[in-house]
Structure 1
Amino acid sequence: MMPRSLLVFIWQVSGRRQILLCGLTVIVSLLTTLPLELQRRIVDDAIHGQAVDLLLLLSAAYLGVLLVQGGLKYVLNVYRGYMVEHVARDLRHRIFDGTQGKEGAHLVKQGAIVSMVAAEVEDLAGFVGDSVSFPLLQAGTALSAMGYLIWVEPRIALFAILLYLPQLFVVPLGQRRINRWGNIHARLLRKMGDTIVGTSVGGAFDRHGRPKFRRRFMRLVMGAYRTRRAVYRVKFFLTFFGNFLDALAPLIVLSVGGWLVIKGEVEVSTLVVFITGFQKVADPWDQLLTFYRTASNAKVKYRLIADALPQPVSA
């Protein structure tokens, strides 16, 4: 049986593992601002002060932080991958038991079962692996970096915050369209599988020697082709819009920050930190928007799978 809620299912199949992943994620997020501060100290204290010993010490600390952070991310990703495969195995067991047992033997056509066990399970299991730790990591990284930039120079940081606000309105509008077309596309793929599995064995042929179900199959192929094209138009517009805003960030640093440097209110090292810091905000922000889109698609696919399996009988 599949729970009605995707969140309940996630907790049911991976609750304890998600807790461990969150613990590792918090540690990785807290290490985000250390390289930024070390960069600033290297420029302001070591290079300007011409202190070679301090330069070597800060550089060694910088290298150590990168190694620790990279090692923790490696452990995090490997463990998340193990969890994804655990969830995929569990889902395949549920689909098999739900469609091959007495209650569901005739509930789902064989072509749809093939689609569910293959691509749909892979996509849904991948989302479960990322469902908690991934947004926590990206949000923690972005907030840590932005908080540090606000502490260093709030005026430049304010422009960065305003830069990304339009995406909060544009992305949800586009995602609703992607969800609608994605739902239709998944159903068309299932019908294609049903058409092949249900009629290819012992099926009739026309006078040209082609299967009679070929015309229906071609219509389904054309429908899937059109839905994917519709998805691409919206999806890549959102990508273009996000990339354009990301490209504006260095321009803001150089223009606003440069004006403050000329006025003598900001050090040049602050600009160096902000260029790096904006990248540490932009990358996780883009990942969060991608995760939002993935989560929307995962809800659609979960409902398709859950609705196809026998539902629990109410007492």
Structure 2
Amino acid sequence: MMEIVHDMGHRLTHYISSDAHWWVHLVFHLVVFGVPVALIIILSATGYRALRRRRSVLAQQAQKPSAKSGTALLQYIFRASWKRQIKLGLLATASLPALYMSLELPKLIINNAIESGHFPVTYLGMEFSQTMALLTLCLLFLLAIGVHGWLKYQVNLQSGALAEHMSRRLRLDISKFSFRKPSPRGGELIPVIVQEVEPVAGYASESIVLPLLQGGTFLTILAFMLVQDLVLGIAATALLPLQIFVIPRFQKKINALSRTRLKEVRVLGEKIGNISNDHQPSARDIYGSYKRLHDLRLSIHKNKFAMKSLNNFISQMTPFFFYTIGGYLVIKGDLTLGALIAVLTAYKDMGAPLKELFRYYQAQADAHVRYSEIKPYISKEIEITDNQFADVTVLSEAG
């Protein structure tokens, strides 16, 4: 194992000469050796913590055999929309080859059509002049981005339709439960149907396709960078360990504040629902709930925007490694200018899927919190036999 690591290190260090500036050696060794080690350590620690949490959950379920996991959020999503999820997954997968071609063709245009002086060339029995080769590659690039854009449009369109389908399905299931077992505290049901349902439905539409599409996009761009140059590909992930380490800690705090806010909204709804009753709350209690919701929302916004600002700053730092290492390799002649421009262009597209994946992590945690508020109003054991509720059952099964 040590021989493999030594051989890999020797192959990588041939990129820089012994007489290079000290800052080149510093940045190079930090990127090539420091980043993978940090990434392995953080991913190992994250996996170990996830395994411990999983064992703890399994131990709790073993102590409570009556607890049912069938009403978990993911099971509910798959039970209600598995066919649509598969269709979305296929569309997302089909868009990745078109994405790779849209990254590869600009490099070919610069290196093979603009800078190359070896014309005319013969390809597939056809002779191409420099102008004809340039026009052909540009048309192929236009076709690649057109196909990729159309597939992403279909994914977004189908995802939006799925969100509306899940929103309607959740509201129908909640209505079945409330009609069968009406509660005297009707104010509790209003925030559940109005506020909690739509974020959960939005997450349901993205639960499979977003990590598949955005994660696949990130890996496709990273693979493209690694093919162009191994060091630049590693440099693209230079600050990824810092993002993995910092972002989840902000998210935990935001999740805790979101749970507190949801509980306060439920309490406020109950207070407003009891205004017309004999035991109506005082105005000070209601105004106090307003103040607590105001403070909670401000705290959520501060942490959320601090997390986004830090993530944006980290993302903007990575081009420093590209300009430093990539520029040095171009000066030495170990990397073409077209490959460096293609890598820089690809990295600009690399930030969007990372942001979407972090947003997905946030939406996932928020959806589980909201679903915990919805779950008491959803019951699979309800059997509505009264004619007055038969239409609700039919609509729910049809949706």
Q: TM-score when scaled to structure 2?
A: 0.72
**In the aligned structure 2, how far is the partner of 1:294 from the partner of 1:122?**
12
1:36 aligns with 2:103: yes
In structure 2, what residue type is equivalent to 1:185? R
Picking from 197, 202, 226, the partner of 1:121 is 197
Pairing 1:196-275 to 2, within 5 Å after superposition: 196-199=272-275, 201=276, 213-275=282-344
**In the aligned structure 1, how far is the partner of 2:101 from the partner of 2:211?**
21
**In the aligned structure 1, how far is the partner of 2:115 from the partner of 2:298?**
55
1:105 aligns with 2:187: no
Pairing 1:1-315 to 2, within 5 Å after superposition: 3-49=70-116, 51-101=130-180, 104-106=181-183, 109-199=185-275, 201=276, 213-309=282-378
TM-aligned CA deviation for residue 26 of structure 1:
0.2
TM-aligned CA deviation for residue 291 of structure 1:
0.4
Deviations 1:4-35 (A, max 9, x none): 31110110111110000000000112221111
Query: Is the CA contact 1:22–1:133 (under 8 Å) kept in the aligned structure 2?
Result: yes
SS at the partner of 1:162?
Answer: coil
Show the counterpart of 2:32. none
Query: Is the CA contact 2:215–2:353 (under 8 Å) kept in the aligned structure 1?
Result: yes
Query: Is the CA contact 2:247–2:311 (under 8 Å) kept in the aligned structure 1?
Result: no
TM-aligned CA deviation for residue 213 of structure 1:
2.7
**In the aligned structure 2, how far is the partner of 1:151 from the partner of 1:74?**
28
Deviations 1:250-300 (A, max 9, x none): 222111111111122111112211111112222101110110011011011
- Matched length: 303
TM-aligned CA deviation for residue 171 of structure 1:
1.5
Query: Is the CA contact 1:246–1:282 (under 8 Å) kept in the aligned structure 2?
Result: yes
Moved more, 71-80 or 124-133: 71-80
Larger Rg, first or second structure (1 or 2): 2
SS at the partner of 2:238?
Answer: helix
Moved more, 134-143 or 213-222: 213-222
**In the aligned structure 1, how far is the partner of 2:151 from the partner of 2:339?**
28
Query: Is the CA contact 1:138–1:284 (under 8 Å) kept in the aligned structure 2?
Result: yes
In structure 2, what residue type is equivalent to 1:81? G
Structure 1 gaps, min length 5: 205-210
Structure 2 gaps, min length 5: 1-67, 118-129, 383-399
Query: Where does structure 1 differ by over 4 angstroms across 4 or more consecutive aligned residues?
Result: 308-313
SS at the partner of 2:237?
Answer: helix
Query: Is the CA contact 1:36–1:277 (under 8 Å) kept in the aligned structure 2?
Result: yes
Query: Is the CA contact 1:40–1:273 (under 8 Å) kept in the aligned structure 2?
Result: yes
Deviations 1:159-201 (A, max 9, x none): 11122111111111111111111011111112222222221x3
Q: TM-score when scaled to structure 1?
A: 0.91
Query: Is the CA contact 1:2–1:9 (under 8 Å) kept in the aligned structure 2?
Result: no
**In the aligned structure 2, how far is the partner of 1:29 from the partner of 1:223?**
46
**In the aligned structure 1, how far is the partner of 2:335 from the partner of 2:115?**
15
**In the aligned structure 2, how far is the partner of 1:212 from the partner of 1:284?**
48
**In the aligned structure 2, how far is the partner of 1:94 from the partner of 1:129?**
18
**In the aligned structure 2, how far is the partner of 1:132 from the partner of 1:255?**
38
SS at the partner of 1:31?
Answer: helix
Query: Is the CA contact 1:3–1:306 (under 8 Å) kept in the aligned structure 2?
Result: no
**In the aligned structure 1, how far is the partner of 2:298 from the partner of 2:100?**
41
**In the aligned structure 2, how far is the partner of 1:232 from the partner of 1:263?**
48
**In the aligned structure 2, how far is the partner of 1:87 from the partner of 1:151?**
41
Moved more, 228-237 or 151-160: 228-237
